[in-house]
Each structure stands twice: as C-alpha cells, then as structure tokens.
Amino acid sequence: MKRALLSVWNKDGIIDLARTLHQAGIELLSSGGTAKVLNTAGIPIIEVSEYTGFPEMMDGRVKTLHPRIHGGILGRRGTDDAVMKEHNIGPIDLVVVNLYPFEEMTKQSLPLDELIEFIDIGGPAMIRAAAKNFQDVLVVIDPADYPALMKAVSSRSSFTKEERLAYARKVFARMAAYDGAISNYLYGLEEELPPVYSVQFRNGRMLRYGENPHQVAAVYGESGIGGSLPLQGKAMSYNNYLDVDAAVGLLREFDECAAVIVKHNNPCGVATGETIRDVYIAARDVDPVSAYGGIVAVNKEVTTDLAKEIASTFIEVLVAPSFSDEAREILKTKENLRLLTLTDPAGHAAVRTIDGGALVQVTPVQREEWQVVTDRDPTADEEAAMMLAMKVCKHVKSNAIIFADKNRALGIGAGQMSRVDSAKIAISKAQFPLKGSVVASDAFLPFSDTLEVAAEAGATALIQPGGSIRDSEVIDEANRRKMAMVFTGIRYFRH
C-alpha cells in the first residue's frame, strides 16, 4: 500500500489514522476541510488540487472529480498499468471517505436550495469506484473501522481479498441508504407517502428460526425494539420480538405507573396504579393462565419486590426502563428469562410485506373528539375506565372488545370475525365481576347486539368510534338500558 486518499465530513479519528498511515510510509492525498485539519496537525499531505493540477472550484462542488483520482482508484493492477503510466495516473490503494450528512440535515428544516448542498457527489463517486475495484483497493467509510485499519497497517503491508470485499459491501449498503434517503425526501416534498419508497434496515442478526422451527429468520434494526439485545437470558426469538413490540406499543400509551402482559401478540393483562409490584400483580390477575409464559413490560424501574414476583412464575421477557442491582441478582436465578431495556420509539413508518410488495403506513398524532350521545353522561369513574379501555383497544387485534374499570382491563376479546363473539370471549375470560364496568370497541357497532351482551354482563357504559348507519338504534338501546355511551370518531382496527 503506497498511496491513500483521505476526504471525510466526520473528522473523528482522522488525525490518528493519517498519522499511522504516514508513519507506515504511505503517501497521503487530501482535499478541502480534511486537508486543513491534517495540515494543522502537522501531517504531511498532498492537496488533491496540486495532485490533479486543477483547483477546487464551484464552491467545493468539484474537487476530486478528475481522471488522476478516479483512474488511480479504478485502474486494474496488471490490466490498466500501461494506460495509467501513459496518462501519469498513480495507483490509489486506500480510500477513506465519509459523506455529507444529508439524513441529519433533513431534520433541520433547511430550505431546499440549502439542503441540496448536502447531497454528496465526489464522495459517493470515489467510494463506489473503490468498492467496484475492491480486488486492488481498500475502501473505509466508517470511523469505527479506523482502529482495526491502523492495527493492520502497523503490522502488515496488504489486505486479503476477503477483507477488501467486506469493506466494499459496507459501501454499497451505505450508498443504498443514502440514495434512498434523498429519494424519499425529494418525493416527500409533495406526498407524505411517495410512489417510490426506499427503506433499509441495518444491524441484521440471525435468529434461531422464524415463527416456527422450519422457517429462517433474522432481526434488523439499530434503534427501538429492532435494536434491542437482552441484558441476560437466552437469545431473543422471532416471536419474542413481535410480542415485545406489541407490549411496548401499548405500554407507551400510559404516563402513569403501568404494566402490560402480552401473549401471542395480544395483551392479556393491563393495569395501572401506585406501585409497580402491585400494578404487575393486578395485570397478571386479569388472565393468569394466559400470562404464564408471556411478555411483561413495565414503565418503572424493576426493584426487589417486583423481581421476586417475576421470579415466582414463568415469563419469557421482562421489559423495563431500568433494573436495580438487587433485582438483577434475583432475576439471574431465572437463567432463560430475557431482560430488555425499554427504548424510545424509533418513529419510522410501519412497513409490512405482502406477496409481491409491501404496505407502508404512517400514523399521525390523533386527538379523539369525545361526544356523549346518550341521555346519561358517564360518571368520573366510567370516564377514567373508558380512557384505559380505549388505550388497550388500540393494541388488540380486531375485532376488539375490552371490558375495564379505571385501573385495569377486566376482559379482553380479540381477533374474532364477529364483534359479538369478541364480547362473549372477553366476558368468559374475565376473572372479576363485570358489574359497573365499561366496554370499549375498536370500531363502530353495526347493531345493538354487542351492547346488549355487554349490558347483560354488567357494563354500565360503552365507548366506540360511532359512524354506523344504525347508530340511532344503538343509542336508543343504550338509553333504554340507562347506559352512558361516548363516540370518539376514530377507528382503531388492528390486523
């Protein structure tokens, strides 16, 4: 390795890398801000403009776009040597480049004419060229790879084909994400969801198998649930990730102390209260049979008293914002129990694949407009119970019917083709009397039958989106039974 080109936006670690390369006898080419940083550090470099004989121009838009640069990168050793010699093109053996931060700058609400200047041209051209010619050129785009590069340069003079190919793969993955981000932004200037939508997930990790042992699966992601790794216990499974995503999505609905238990992608226990141990027990008691082997998510630190309760039964995963040292010691006795730290939401659009394509969905912030449509207003306790029930309803597979009081779900009916059947399942699952409870529906009631079933079970109030052509019939039935009913105007189907 005789010559390297260094041109980076992110200057982290570049001085140490350049110094190591210089000490190894490697000639350094550099341009723009990188050249200034290295000159200031006293590291000998050759300016790209001096090397090519052309100055930087057009406010820095044109620096490295020159045959002496790209010929040096793309020239095939042993094939293009004569052409390179004829045109005085020296080989460039190492390219260290990272790109203008277009993705970061889109978050700063810049005018388009300013943002355009953060679309890198020379950088992508150089790293794509180097990656294409990986058999002869090493290309490094991530400062996290500098330590390994410096160690290698200090101990040996060459890199294997496999090593160069590994670095080249990173280039094409980065370019796919970079160009995708630009495409999405420019299309998105006119449409929230454009006709071409690009997405890339990194940090892929193989899982033991998919939903079932005969299926192959991996998880991808660097933030949110997709980036989560257990603090202890077995590796996460495909189904674990699905269930944790469901549990955390519902948990984020609550600001107050709350616990959520999920089994097979549906909540089977939800409760709020004063102390996290008592809240967990209340959630578990909603459906203790289903809670066994479930996923537990809480929004307060796991301390000793809660850890003892968790350790007294079998659960697959416990998610919490933090764990006390004493709790960690207790939970270590459950060797297979996975512990995850509760993450901030990643905030991406939801993407689901279908045969031949994908569905992409963005969920804007919605504000329900509650409207009392019956003769009787809900009491304060009924209103509090309605709020809890609707939060749960959003995260239950439709058709969803939820019975609740102001502190917890009492009966959860999920995933039935008939709304009445969901109500009957919720009633059959209830471990506590439903007298005085409220019931929530994720979509409008097409007939009064669901309300009748709920009332006969003891519910005194009902909350639903409204919007059926038979709303008046349902309202009349609620008034006849002296029930309070509220319309929200927002449907929460979850398929």
Active site residues: 132, 264
Pairing verdict, β 138-140 and 94-98: parallel
Angstrom distances, CA of residue 269 to CA of 27, 230, 245, 263, 322: 65, 23, 15, 9, 21
The Cα–Cα gap between 374 and 163 comes to 71
Cis-peptide, bond into residue 133, ω within 30° of zero: no
Contact criterion met (CB below 8 Å) for 248 and 390: no
Contact criterion met (CB below 8 Å) for 2 and 27: yes
Report the candidate in 30, 183, 200 with the shortest Cα–Cα distance to residue 102. Answer: 183
354, burial (CB in 10 Å: exposed 0-12, middle 13-18, buried 19+): exposed
What end-to-end distance do the CA atoms of the chain give, in Å? 57
Residue whose tokens read 């041109």: 7
User: What are the b/e assignments for 237-265, b being 16+ CB within 10 Å?
Assistant: bbbbbbbbbbbbbbbbbbeebbbbbbbbb
Which amino acid is located at 440 in the chain?
A
